[in-house]
Amino acid sequence: MKQASPIPTASGGLPLLGHIVPLLRAPLGFLARLPEDGDLVRVRFGPLSALVVCDPALLDHVLRDDRTFDKGGALYDRSREFFGNGLGTCPHGDHRRQRRLLQPAFHPNRLCAYVPAVTARITETIGSWQDGEVLDVVAVMQELTARITIDTMFSTTPSPDVLNQALGDLNTLLADVTVRTVTPPALDRLPTPRNRRYQQARTRLPRTLHHLVTERRAAGVDHGDLLSMMLTARDPDSGSAEQMLADDEIVDQIVSFFGAGTETAASTLAWALHLLGAHPEIEKRLQAEVDSVLAGRPATHADLPRLELTGRIITETLRLWSPAWFFTRMCTADTRLGQYAVPSGTTILYSQYLLHRQADLYPDPERFDPDRWAPDHPSPPRREAFIPFGGGARKCIANRFATSTTVLALATIAARWRLRPLPGTHVRPAVAAVIRPGGLRMRAVARSATGTGAGPRSVEGDGVELTARG
Ligand code: HEM
């Protein structure tokens, strides 16, 4: 075998501290510069170190070999504190069994069945907006996507107070988890208001979600959704009638799905609306598409292939502002990655932001250009260079569900409203477990008031597609 090449260290590190200062000061800029140093680059944070994969082919190898490059290390130890051993955080040894059990909830037939509930929730949300109202876009989208996750996956209707508390707790946890992976655990025990809030959220969120499980078990109705699947699962190998998942395991899964599904989809929609606000020419084309495809009625599953530009806008938003912007793996055996030798115990880091902004993979990478995804584009992006949903066996289980939900939401909003940027507002990426458009407030202007579009009346439609499940 060829001799392994030495792994370059990222430039700009300091003795003892390593790269902790640029990482904490400007993490996105720091990541985006790493490919200049090599295709696999070592970074150091004080005593910790990780290898960052900067090349799509090497990353493909990492994502496909999920036994050698397993979930583990500081990020997952911290994430398991509140996601438990759910699908997104469990190690390879538990993963296949869990994924087999939960995958049917994302079968194409199920996705089609979720659409009426999704459309109903979107229509209800946008129906509550007032012409000229200023929206806190991220908060509105978070509530929308949280409700969609709960309506479709768990078929329950928590009160607004319960939902808001769950969302608040989720935000507290997600805001802290990334920082906690690089700070010493002793700091978590200090009685600061921030630590107290974190601890409270960590115990309260599972408790809130536990109620969902208890209520549904008591009701005993099979809704054919994710929660029903978990409540009725039996181990096919043992042939036993014993329930496969204990209530605590089900709560871990619910926290995982609620955590993974709410913030990511909400940020994608918020970024898309922000980008459209800044690109009125693309917004006009979007309006033309939704007016022609939907013609004033609610979107159905069958419309999705014809909402072609809407889909490309979501894809390009996911390229520029993948809400999930980095993940790690732990190397479980000595191995080779391309020309490099990687010892067991090494932390590997991959980043959507880093890969999606490389000029050799995406010409003019900072430009919002949905047409780079057009089917007849002469140089389409490389498959393995587009990883908003990760890849391999750990690829997002809900990638199709998330794509169709965000496309339906964007189309439904665009049919009825224009969201205008507020003059003088400065939108900046707010970086935590997901990247959100920080400070994004927009004015909702009814399209009927601008003299275009099918207008509010017709979007309410004839109700055929609006029957909520549950
Ligand atoms: C635009 C929206 C979304 C994005 C960008 C996104 C992104 C991702 C990514 C990148 C991963 C892989 C993480 C890794 O490599 O370690 C992942 C996994 C996962 N996502 Fe999503 N996600 C989205 C929406 C959702 C939704 C709506 C749900 C649930 C309803 C969900 C549930 C999950 C779960 C359970 C996993 C773990 C899968 C496994 O390990 O087998 N995601 N997601």
Rounded-to-integer distance, Cα 360 and Cα 426, Å: 30
Helix H or strand E encompassing 70: strand 69-70
Which of 83, 98, 396, 405 has most ligand 1 atoms within 8 Å of its beta carbon, as the pocket-test mutant? 396
Q: Is the CB of 83 under 6 A from ligand 1?
A: no
What does the pLDDT look like over 405-447, one tens digit per residue? 999 999 999 999 999 999 988 999 999 889 999 999 999 999 9
**Structure-block tokens of residue 419:** 């969201």
Query: What residue ranges of the chain are covered by domains with CATH 1.10.630.10?
Result: 1-84+325-387, 94-322+392-470
Sign, Cα dihedral of 449, 467, 266, 287 = negative
Can you spell out the DSSP letters for 389-454?
T--GGGS-TTHHHHHHHHHHHHHHHHHHEEEEEPTT---EEEESSBEEEET-EEEEEEGGGGT-SS
Which residue's alpha carbon is nearest to atom 16 within ligand 1? 327
Contact 27 CB / ligand 1 (< 6 Å): no
Q: What pLDDT score does 2 carry?
A: 79
Q: Which fold has domain 94-322+392-470?
A: Cytochrome p450 (1.10.630)
Of ligand 1's listed atoms, the one at least distance from the Cα of 391 is: 15
Mean pLDDT of 96-103: 90
Interval between CA 338 and ligand 1 midpoint (Å): 27
Spell out the CATH class of 1-84+325-387.
mainly alpha
Ligand 1 centroid to residue 259 C-alpha, Å: 9
Is the predicted pLDDT of residue 276 greater than 90, yes or no?
yes
pLDDT digits (tens, 9 = 90+) for 212-255: 788 888 877 777 788 888 888 776 665 555 567 888 888 888 88
CA of 33 to the centre of ligand 1 (A): 26
